[in-house]
Amino acid sequence: MLAALAVAVLVGVSVGVGVWWFLRDTSLGSGSGRGAGPAPSVTATPSPSASVSTASGYRRVQDPVGYTVDVPRGWTRTEKQGESAPIVVYDAPADGRRLQVFRVAEDTPAQSLGLAENDPGYGFSRRPGYQVVDRASGTTWAELAYRYDDTDLGARQVVDHRFRAADGRLYAIRATGPAALAPALVREPLTRALASFCPADTECGVGAE
């Protein structure tokens, strides 16, 4: 009982730290408001070591925030300032897909993802139509795939991946897109971003354009 009480206290303290890291999916456009529908099976993406080559249709960029990452050609970049760190957003102009990249402050990827999902004020489990598709984790990463109904964009699918990068810090990369798209299309930019992600001044075996 003492161990359980200690865990409860730690979680309570961590909630305030993790709240601001959550960013609502606000891709441009309007949606139908239709239901999320059945959830297909997906395969979680472990956080791999950074790759040297860049896949066809992608470009390797040195983001001003301080990391190298591969993003699809033609996607547009915007940046929003969170309470303590910037949140970088890459948007697909044609089909409503999006990548969000940001630092997280919790001690582990699983803790960070758990707070983002379940915080009583801001957790995305409170969104209309919320439905877990899959969840998985490893020693240095945690991932949650889910669907929800956005009031402006309609049904959306999300893959939220949190991981410890080569510099020892925790980051999140979140891929989102319309629920009508094939899950593989939404996941692919996330997979490429994880395979190429390298913080500045860190040896990862990648180079920027």
Over residues 29-48, the pLDDT tens digits come to 223 233 334 444 444 555 54
User: Residue 139 gets which letter from DSSP?
Assistant: S
For the segment 107-141, what is each residue's pLDDT rounded down to a tens digit? 999 999 999 999 988 899 999 999 999 999 999 99
Over the stretch 175-203, which tens digit does the pLDDT of each residue have? 999 999 999 999 999 999 999 999 999 98
Does the model's pTM come out above 0.85? no
Helices 109-118 & 2-18, crossing angle to 10 degrees?
Answer: 70
Distance of CA 181 to the CA centre of its chain: 18
DSSP string over 85-99:
SEEEEEE-TTT--EE
3-state secondary structure of 122: coil
| Structure-token pair, residue 138 | 């490893």
